[in-house]
Amino acid sequence: DTEVTQTPKHLVMGMTNKKSLKCEQHMGHRAMYWYKQKAKKPPELMFVYSYEKLSINESVPSRFSPECPNSSLLNLHLHALQPEDSALYLCASRDVRGVQYFGAGTRLSVL
């Protein structure tokens, strides 16, 4: 099983809402990632978790709050987002060869 599952697939939220994105993998990978992708642009790295600890935060605004409750699960908590935060949010996990496996993404629209 090389699947990374992201939920929800689509999310519409207002600027005052609080929502969470969820990512799950059962491949035993101990590195997990959040990326943001705007239309017609490549994915941009946001956060890296290594052994369930945050190892990289690419200067992401605090309205994005990641969480790794266990080795299989990664969450991204969203609060007070702006319309420019509308994008495809991708989760990935990595094996020891350096290969990353991506989920299908959550398409987020902030109104």
Partner 1 sequence: DAKTTQPPSMDCAEGRAANLPCNHSTISGNEYVYWYRQIHSQGPQYIIHGLKNNETNEMASLIITEDRKSSTLILPHATLRDTAVYYCIVRVTMGNYGGSQGNLIFGKGTKLSVKP
CA angle 63, 43, 93 (to 5 degrees): 85
* 4 lies in the site for partner 1, by CB under 8 A: yes
Query: CB neighbours of 35 closer than 8 A, spacing ≥ 6?
Result: 43, 44, 45, 46, 89, 90, 91, 92
Query: Considering beta carbons, is residue 44 or 67 the nearer one to partner 1?
Result: 44
55 binds partner 1, rule: CB under 8 A = yes
Q: Which stretch binds partner 1 (CB under 8 A): 14-22, 59-67, 77-85, 99-107?
A: 99-107
Helix, strand, or coil here: 53? strand
54 binds partner 1 (CB under 8 A): no
10 scored as a contact of partner 1 (CB under 8 A): no
- CA-CA-CA-CA dihedral for 52, 64, 56, 29, to nearest 10: 40
Binding site for partner 1 (CB under 8 A): 4, 29-31, 33, 42-45, 48, 50-51, 55-56, 88, 90, 92, 94, 96-105, 107
